[in-house]
Amino acid sequence: MAHTWIHSDSYSSLPPSAVFAGNDSNGDAIYVGRTLCNGDQVPCKVIPDKNAAFLPYDGREIPATSYEVLCGHGYTWVPSVGGQILPHAVIGGRTSDGEPLYIGRANYAGSITPGKVHPSHNCLYIGYGGREVRVDSYEILISDPGPQWVGVAI
């Protein structure tokens, strides 16, 4: 399934049908995004009320003013652990070495925050409070594969 990513920035309105991820500890809505950083395309959180996106990277939570927002329907959050990648997991980016980074989210410090599932690190990383936080138990974003047809002999 092809995913729709719409370019946005801190001065733009949230695109229609943006994929909701959760709420910050102060109640602000958070959406699924991705942005570029040092050659990596990194899944991030987009918080319209803060006019920015925030990505977990190299031990820090880094603000970004230019990013893409995932839009569409047919997505589900499914429990996962330890970097496990489930069928139909949504790829949100790639490292500069080509490793896929998937979209996950975790309940952390009163917020439900999206971030990057990094398979070779066996975890999810989220940005929170200015730093990159490792989370071992989380939810991963799955796309609906659509109708599954099965042939039956009559």
Closest CA to 38 of 19, 16, 62, 22: 62
Q: 121: helix, coil or strand?
A: helix
Domain that holds residue 47: 4-143
CB atoms within 10 A of CB 19: 22
Whether residue 152 is contained in a domain is answered as no
Whether residue 151 is contained in a domain is answered as no
Closest CA to 15 of 63, 67, 61: 67
pLDDT digit string, tens, across residues 49-61:
999 999 999 999 9
Whether residue 154 is contained in a domain is answered as no
Whether residue 150 is contained in a domain is answered as no
Sequential pLDDT tens for the chain (154 residues): 568 999 999 999 999 999 999 999 999 999 999 999 999 999 999 999 999 999 999 999 999 999 999 999 999 999 999 989 999 999 999 999 999 999 999 999 999 999 999 999 999 999 999 999 999 999 999 998 766 555 565 5
pTM of the model: 0.92
Whether residue 101 is contained in a domain is answered as yes
Number of domains in the chain: 1
Whether residue 153 is contained in a domain is answered as no
